[in-house]
Structure 1
Amino acid sequence: MEYIADRITIDAAVCNGKPTIRGKRITVQTILEFLGSGETVEEILHQYPTLEREDITAALKFASELMNRNYILKTVA
């Protein structure tokens, strides 16, 4: 298991290797999808009582770091 930013973990045996919150079966993607659909932090914390506010902040920071990379689009034949 690899720890990223103290709260984000990547483990091939958990959620098919997707980044998760502290090794739980709650993916960063799930958190981002809830936020993207308009859910508030308080609503997410109510739905997932094991989460902490800092977990949601870490998910946002993780996503932001991914967007800080350069990407190149290549045409596939």
Structure 2
Amino acid sequence: MAWVVGGGNVEQPLPIDHAGISPHHWPMQIAGHPRIAIDPAICGGRPIVAGTRVRVTDVLEMLAGGANEAEIVEDFPYLSPEDVRACIGYAAQALDHPVVLAAE
């Protein structure tokens, strides 16, 4: 079961439909990030907080918009402070690579 994100309210859990997807492919834990998962049946396979339907980008956008860790956890009680920090850590690692710019 996964929880639906909705307006700060905890809603009823929804079943995850994995029809047609090999069980060996879902959910996939991210090496070094046990709180982050990827499941093709949830949020189009985008990285999520494990056990939820909260995308890593949702948390990052809330932080970028000025919310702090405590506000996010208050609005989404099924998230923990460690989940919020895990999203930041995952994003930092995902962006830690050289960028090659084409000459103009």
Q: Same fold (TM over 0.5)?
A: yes
Quick one: which amino acid aligns to residue 51 of structure 1?
A: L
Quick one: which amino acid aligns to residue 49 of structure 2?
A: I
Q: Which aligned pairs between 1:4-43 and structure 2 lie closer than 5 A?
A: 4=30, 5-43=33-71
Count of matched residue positions in the alignment of Structure 1 and Structure 2: 75
C-alpha RMSD over aligned residues: 1.4
The normalised TM-score by structure 1 is 0.89
TM superposition shift of 1:72: 3.7
The 3-state SS of whatever aligns with 1:68 is: coil
Corresponding position of 1:68:
96
Instruction: Provide Cα deviations, 1:7-64, integer angstroms capped at 9, x if missing partner.
Output: 0000000010010001310000000000000001111001100001100110000000
**Whose radius of gyration is greater, 1 or 2?**
2
Percent identity over the alignment is: 34
Aligned counterparts of 2:41 and 2:85: Cα–Cα separation in 1? 24
The 3-state SS of whatever aligns with 1:29 is: helix
| Paired residues of 1:10 and 1:23 also in contact (CA < 8 A) | no
The 3-state SS of whatever aligns with 1:16 is: helix
Aligned counterparts of 2:100 and 2:50: Cα–Cα separation in 1? 31
Runs (4+) of structure 1 exceeding 6 A deviation are: none
Quick one: which amino acid aligns to residue 54 of structure 1?
A: E
Aligned counterparts of 1:73 and 1:13: Cα–Cα separation in 2? 35
